[in-house]
Structure formats: structure tokens, C-alpha cells
């Protein structure tokens, strides 16, 4: 099975007007808007699908009050879809669309789908030049500043799961996902869908006494300057910061999280580790979310009125 990325994520929007403004402010392009729902796209075509709560044919919620409904994984070809169908049909209820898209659920009851997906455009490096001793990439040029972010793609998805073993086994043994790293004792596992890939495309967090939920959805941007520019713009739009900006010690990525009115959080990230089959997983004994982070965002001089900057922290 050859996976090529997260093609789309479907939410029920309890407040369509608020949710549409949220993803528009986030930097996504609205490509469809009607009674059945609204669709937003990243730069390569990863989609956010917002459906009203009374829409027909909604994927079922994994638990009461969960508005995340489905993640659709893009695959390379119809051959991949056929392989997934052969693997899952014996013990899963499958719904298959006219275009061949397969819909089912994972062990948590999360909606998952699989669709042949061709990116609109290839990923090309667009980061600002970096000057380091002995390697000057940016000469006679002011570095880049971003007034807002325009996410390239959906990079990974993170779930709280009450049954870590069953969920990890499903994605590894049935779909071929690979462990990149884990927290010792079963607290969490980072998974990728190919031997050569970003550090993780999915992260599972153990929640043995709680309900299954989406924890966050991560959107990749070009560089750290776009993380900062996008986060500051989104903050000024009035959306609530979850945490950040900061940097993860596992995956090395820079991040900034905001609360999502459709549940969980959304993340701008950049500069994640990229690994191959030679990567050796580590079982981390200490769960460190960040190398450092700012708890409540960045405040900058605005109209010559200096605002407070919260202290940095690491956890």
C-alpha cells in the first residue's frame, strides 16, 4: 500500500459561520460552499470538509460529543485501494463510493477513508534564505516576513485512544504503518505510513479511561517565519491559543497550536525530521512535549504600545 498523504478531514460544524471564519482566517482557500457543507483547501489540495450537524450520510461519531468524523488517507493508485479492500473486508463494514473511495472505522470508531489522490502541485522549497557562518544564503536581501500563513498541506493527525494496543496493531499490521518513536510504558506512539517519510503522519496518545477524540490536526508551512507570522495573524483575529509558539524535541518541528471550534486543536508546524528505513525508533522514558514553548503566544509592539511577552517554558 502506497500512501501519499492526508487527503481530507471531515468535521461536523455546530456553528457553520464561526467554523468557516476559523479555517478562512487559518489561511485555507474556500472552494465549495453550499447547504451540504463547505470545503477548504491547502496549497496542494488537502481538504477540510465542514458539514452541518443535520447533514445526510455523515460518518458516525466515535463517541458522544465528538465533532471529528473522518480522515481520508490518499493512496497512489486503484491497486492500493484494492489491497486495502482485501485486507479490511473480512472483518470491517466497508462503504465504497462510485469513485472507489473506501470508508470504514478503526478500532476506536474513528472514521477512516482511502482515496486515490494526486496532489495539485509538487512540494517545492520556499523557505527564506538562512545565513550561517561560512554559508551565506541571503545576501543584500532582507529576510522574509509573513503577514499570515497559507498552509501547504495537512501533515499529521493526533488522536486520544482508549485502546493503544488494538489501535497500534491495526495501523501497523493491517495498513503497514511504521513506528518512528514511542513513549515507554505505552503512553504514546508516533507512526508514519512509509519507510521514507516525515517523522510521523499520525500520533496516538493513550487515554485508557476516557473517550476517543481528535487531539489535533497539523498543517505544514514553509518555515519558522511563517509559523510566527501565521500565528500572530491568527491570534489578532481573536482565536484562542492552545500553546505556542515552541519547538518539539521529538520530530524537531517548530509549532503553534490554536483551539478549534470543531474540536481539538490545529497546529502550524515546520522543519520536521524526515526519516528513512535506517531510522532507529527510541522509547522515550520522559514525555517531553516541548524543548521550549511560550504558553500564551507572542506579543509585539503595536502602534508604539509595547505589550507583555510571556516567559518561555519547557515541558
Residue 138 resides in a domain: no
Domain harbouring 57, CATH code: 3.10.180.10
Residue 250 resides in a domain: yes
Residue 81 resides in a domain: yes
Task: Tell me: pLDDT of 57 over 90.
Answer: no
Contact 172, 165 (CB under 8 A): no
Task: Tell me: pLDDT of 311 over 70.
Answer: no
What would the grid cell of residue 53 be? 450537524
Task: Report the percentage of the chain scoring pLDDT > 70.
Answer: 93
Residue 129: pLDDT band with limits 50, 70, 90: confident
Phi-psi region at 229: left, alpha or beta (left = phi > 0; alpha = psi -120 to 50): alpha
Burial of 203 from C-beta contacts in 10 A (0-12 / 13-18 / 19+): buried
Residue 146 resides in a domain: no
Residue 113 resides in a domain: yes
Task: Tell me: pLDDT of 299 over 70.
Answer: no
Contact 311, 299 (CB under 8 A): no
In the chain, the number of structural domains is 1
The overall pTM is greater than 0.85: yes
Task: Tell me: pLDDT of 313 over 90.
Answer: no
Domain that residue 206 falls in: 3-119+151-313
* Exposure of 291 in the CB half-sphere (CA atoms within 13 A): 10
Task: Tell me: pLDDT of 304 over 60.
Answer: no
Give the span between the Cα atoms of 282 and 229, in whole angstroms: 33
Residue 141 resides in a domain: no
Residue 130 resides in a domain: no
pLDDT tens per residue, range 95-113: 999 999 999 999 999 999 9
Residue 143 resides in a domain: no
Amino acid at each position: 500500500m502506497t500512501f501519499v498523504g492526508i487527503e481530507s478531514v471531515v468535521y461536523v460544524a455546530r456553528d457553520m459561520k464561526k467554523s468557516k471564519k476559523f479555517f478562512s482566517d487559518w489561511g485555507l482557500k474556500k472552494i465549495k460552499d453550499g447547504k451540504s457543507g463547505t470545503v477548504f483547501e491547502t496549497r496542494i489540495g488537502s481538504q477540510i470538509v465542514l458539514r452541518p450537524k443535520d447533514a445526510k450520510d455523515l460518518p458516525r461519531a466515535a463517541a458522544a460529543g465528538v465533532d471529528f468524523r473522518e480522515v481520508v488517507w490518499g493512496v497512489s493508485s486503484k491497486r492500493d485501494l484494492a489491497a486495502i479492500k482485501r485486507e479490511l473486508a473480512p472483518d470491517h463494514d466497508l462503504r465504497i463510493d462510485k469513485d472507489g473511495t473506501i470508508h470504514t472505522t478503526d478500532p476506536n470508531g474513528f472514521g477512516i477513508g482511502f482515496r486515490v489522490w494526486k496532489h495539485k502541485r509538487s512540494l517545492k522549497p520556499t523557505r527564506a534564505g538562512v545565513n550561517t557562518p561560512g554559508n551565506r544564503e541571503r545576501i543584500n536581501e532582507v529576510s522574509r516576513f509573513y503577514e499570515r500563513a497559507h498552509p501547504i498541506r495537512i501533515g499529521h493527525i493526533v488522536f486520544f485512544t482508549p485502546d493503544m494496543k488494538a489501535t497500534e496493531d491495526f495501523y501497523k499490521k493491517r495498513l503497514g504503518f511504521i513506528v518512528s518513536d514511542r513513549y515507554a510504558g505505552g503512553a504514546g506512539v508516533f507512526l508514519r505510513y512509509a519507510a521514507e517519510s516525515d517523522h510521523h503522519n499520525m500520533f496516538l496518545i493513550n487515554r485508557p479511561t476516557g473517550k476517543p477524540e481528535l487531539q489535533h490536526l497539523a498543517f505544514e508551512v514553509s518555515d519558522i517565519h511563517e509559523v510566527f507570522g501565521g500565528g500572530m495573524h491568527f491570534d489578532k483575529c481573536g482565536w484562542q491559543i492552545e500553546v505556542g509558539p515552541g519547538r518539539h524535541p521529538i520530530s524537531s518541528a517548530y509549532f503553534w497550536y490554536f483551539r478549534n471550534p470543531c474540536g481539538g486543536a490545529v497546529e502550524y508546524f515546520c522543519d520536521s525530521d524526515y526519516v528513512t528505513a535506517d531510522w532507529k525508533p527510541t522509547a522515550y522514558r520522559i514525555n517531553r512535549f516541548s524543548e521550549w514553548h511560550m504558553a500564551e503566544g507572542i506579543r509585539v509592539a503595536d502602534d508604539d504600545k509595547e505589550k507583555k511577552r510571556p516567559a518561555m517554558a519547557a515541558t
